[in-house]
Structure 1
Amino acid sequence: MSEQNPPGLDLPRLAAYLERERPGLVRGPLGAEVVQGGRSNLTYRVTDGTGRWVVRRPPLGHVLATAHDMAREHRVISALRDTPVPVPGTVLLCEDPEVLGAPFYVMDHVEGTPYRTAEELAPLGAQRTREVVLALPETLVALHAVDPHEVGLGDFGRPEGFLERQLRRWSKQLEASRSRELAGVDELRGALGEALPDSPRPTVVHGDYRLDNVLIDADGEVAAVLDWEMSTLGDPLTDLGLLAMYSERQDVPDSPVSTTSGAPGHPSATELIERYARLSGRDVSQINWYTAFAYFKLAVILEGIHYRFTLGSTVGAGFDRIGELVPVFIDNGLSTLRKG
């Protein structure tokens, strides 16, 4: 349901800015609603009663410089517009924080459903679920086939030493929120460092590629890939490893970390990896390292949430159970890495 001025979005100021920058785009009073399920950035669905758009801005109270984040998302989506990768069309980028209190960008609204849980997928039935999920590696192959230089993204990241930097970054994150003994986490981190694979040719990587970051249309096709805030140039198999991790069954009853892997008909991680390999022609023989690294990253993220919860700075349903999940993901990472 649309509302006037949801938190972080002053609609009269937005309308005035759009009229100045894109005369005639807005044809009536704006209404908006917050789109649930976003990550760190806020997402709003905006309409004038005829047209519909989506606005993205940093979270409220963010004290870090955020213009780069918004510009980065806007840049990669705009660059991919004329490629086989389905992305929303971009309308404009505003880096002036005076308009809405933070930089933001506007993109076209795309019809589609983000499936976030096995329960949401279940009504599709086993066969349709299988087809929907198998579309994910196909779209990922299309992304990794884009030549960054041809679309103006040749300087979008520093692919040299990408995996080393990633492991170092997440290790620092771990230390920043480490407040208890975590059995196996140092073993996992050390083993990942000792077994760093040689990266293939760098590509544009999404950074958080999974089913609930894409929109599925009525035909079961990927209508748009969303949430590009972690995108960069780097090792494409990090995207595949993360997709594989989220596609493995997690034996945690009523887990607050939602996955779709338990839905009837959901392809296994192995099937998704094999489909990607067949369509891309890439060597995926080291995929267990990338999947184990994805488990390590998620364990670090969850430990950070748990740490903030213990400080009383994170409230809400399920946060009290996050801490018990961290050892599960550490163990899964170790067992995956031991497969070789």
Structure 2
Amino acid sequence: MAERVAPEDLADALEPIVQQRIPGAQDAKIVNWKRTERGFSTETYLFDLEGAEHESAGYVFRRPPEVSLFPDYDLRRQFLVTERLAPTALPVPAVRWIDAGDNPLGTPYYVMDRIGNAEAPSDFPSYHTAGNYFDADEQGRARMWWECVETMARVHLLDPDELRLGFLAMPKFGDKPVEQIVNYLDWAVRWAAPELPPVMDRALAWLRENVYEPEHVTLVWGDARMSNILYTPDLSVAGVLDWEMAYVGDHEADLAWVLFLDWACSEYEGHPSLPGTPTREETVARYEELTGWKVQNLRYNEVLAAVLLSVPLLRLSTHLQLGENVSITGFCMHRLEQLLADV
């Protein structure tokens, strides 16, 4: 494969490919090329086409990062999940094409349509302190929160087999779904960091000792949160994003992830949730109502969530020298200490 194209040269290298691959764009030029500020796990750019025959809200280009934050990073998995969710009621972006072979850009990449006139709540700073969730009134915030919970429930009510998502299972890590994700995480955190904090070893041991068989095995979004939902100005859901952490397992993992991240960006940061934000108890009750399933293993899955998020953060800390002056995994370890305090 060709050498990896530098970020500043990507637009010029992509333009002739786009001219060939997008109908009516043979004379178009890439304009408004901009790298997004979303996350580190996948390098993402937005762009428009000037001179194309068909109007568009724009496009998204994604490729692997220079240093992977997960040991099994696979761009093709993200593409396939998004593509196979397209026939469902979930508003996922339309994917255009993927090139995972030898190509002039030097890495696998894919292109998808951008969803216009919509915005995701802020990650950094927290949506409790900035962005469209912060700017909304109490009623608007409640609507955004419930839209997120309802979207998550819709994900879990899908049939992974009908959607041909069986490739998201992890049979090499065990025979059953919870065993698989625990063994995967044990492998992944040790790949991410040469030495683990003692609480991480305790958490992994506790997860192994308490493996259970879930009543329902579903598609797990993996990164379920408001910041992966695009909301229109009237606060309805326009897009559901980011499937790189998706797997097949216990649906409660997503509910735990939402609650864990909300705790991290409110209580842990030292400020209360914004008025209008439903409580943890209200969220669990609403989720049970939407799915018809009793939530039975929430603490287990919150431990799982804190371990899972530690993988990319440990990798950033140990291999990219981020967080030298402050522990970027501190909130994960703090939450694990809380959750394991009385077990």
Q: TM-score, normalised by structure 1?
A: 0.83
State the distance in 2 between where 1:295 and 1:261 align. Answer: 20
Q: CA deviation at 1:302?
A: 3.8
Pair 1:222 & 2:229 matched: no
Are the aligned partners of 1:247 and 1:261 in contact in 2 as well (CA < 8 Å)?
no
List runs of 5+ in structure 1 lacking aligned partners: 255-259
Deviation by residue 1:17-62 (Cα, 9 ceiling, x = unmatched): 1222333146521021001113311111010145311111111366
Whether 1:239 and 2:250 are equivalent positions in the alignment is no
Return the alpha-carbon distance in structure 2 between the equivalents of residues 324 and 82 of structure 1.
40
Q: Of residues 130, 136, 147 in structure 1, which corresponds to 2:148?
A: 136
Moved more, 88-97 or 56-65: 56-65
Report the equivalent of 1:150. Answer: 162
Which amino acid in 1 is paired with 2:39?
G
Superposition pairs for residues 10-159 of structure 1, below 5 Å?
A: 10-25=10-25, 28-31=28-31, 32-49=33-50, 50-51=55-56, 52-60=58-66, 69-111=74-116, 112-115=118-121, 116=123, 117=126, 118-120=128-130, 121-158=133-170
Quick one: structure 1 residues 90 and 8, their matched pair in 2 at CA, closer, same or farther if it must change by over 3 Å? farther
Percent same amino acid at aligned positions?
A: 24
Paired residues of 2:307 and 2:332 also in contact (CA < 8 A): no
Instruction: After superposing the two structures, state which structure 1 stretch, 28-37 or 196-205, moved more.
Output: 196-205
Match of residue 284, structure 1, among 292, 295, 299 = 295
Residue aligning to 1:257: none
- For 1:323 and 1:246, the matched residues in 2 are separated by 13
Does the 8 Å contact 2:138/2:275 carry over to 1?
Answer: yes
Task: Please report how far the alpha carbon of residue 301 of structure 1 lies from its aligned counterpart in structure 2 after TM superposition.
Answer: 4.5
Gap change, CA 1:108 and 1:174, over 3 Å in 2: closer
For 1:122-178, what per-residue CA distance to the aligned partner results, in whole angstroms no more than 9, with x for missing partners? 211222111101111111111111122322324442474221122122223344425
Distance 1:76 1:277 in 2: 25
SS at 1:105 equivalent: strand
Once residues 79 and 312 of structure 2 are traced to their aligned partners in structure 1, the CA distance between those partners, rounded to angstroms, is: 25
Instruction: State which drifts further: 192-201 or 150-159.
Output: 150-159
- SS of 1:133's equivalent in the other structure is helix
1:298 and 2:309 equivalent?
yes
Question: Are the aligned partners of 2:20 and 2:26 in contact in 1 as well (CA < 8 Å)?
Answer: no
The amino acid across from 1:80 in the alignment is: L
Distance 1:245 1:253 in 2: 13
Give me the CA root mean square deviation: 3.0
Please name the residue that 1:179 is paired with.
195
Shift of 1:81: 0.9
Greater CA drift, 318-327 or 216-225: 318-327
Between the aligned partners of 1:200 and 1:47, the Cα distance in structure 2 is 46
Letter in 2 for 1:35: T
Name the count of aligned residue pairs: 321
In 2, the alpha carbon distance for the partners of 1:243 and 1:83 equals 22
Q: Which of the numbers 144, 167, 182 marks the counterpart of 2:182?
A: 167
CA separation in 1, counterparts of 2:256 and 2:198?
23
What is the match of residue 331 of structure 1?
337
What is the rounded CA distance, in whole Å, between the counterparts of 2:66 and 2:258 in structure 1?
29
Structure 2 length-normalised TM: 0.82
Q: Which runs of 5+ in 2 are unaligned?
A: none
Query: Kindly tell me: are residues 54 and 266 of structure 1, through their superposed partners in 2, closer, same or farther at Cα, counting changes over 3 Å?
Result: same
Q: Distance in 1 between matches of 2:309 and 2:166?
A: 29
Of 285-294 and 76-85, the range deviating more from structure 2: 285-294
Shift of the 299–43 alpha-carbon distance from structure 1 to 2, 3 Å rule, reads: closer
Which whole-Å CA distance do the structure 1 matches of 2:300 and 2:68 have between them? Answer: 34
Please tell me the residue identity of whatever aligns with 2:35. V
User: Of residues 203, 228, 245 in structure 2, which corresponds to 1:188?
Assistant: 203
SS class of match (1:200) = coil
Task: Write the letter of the residue equivalent to 1:332.
Answer: Q
Q: Is the 8 A contact 1:303 1:326 kept in 2?
A: no
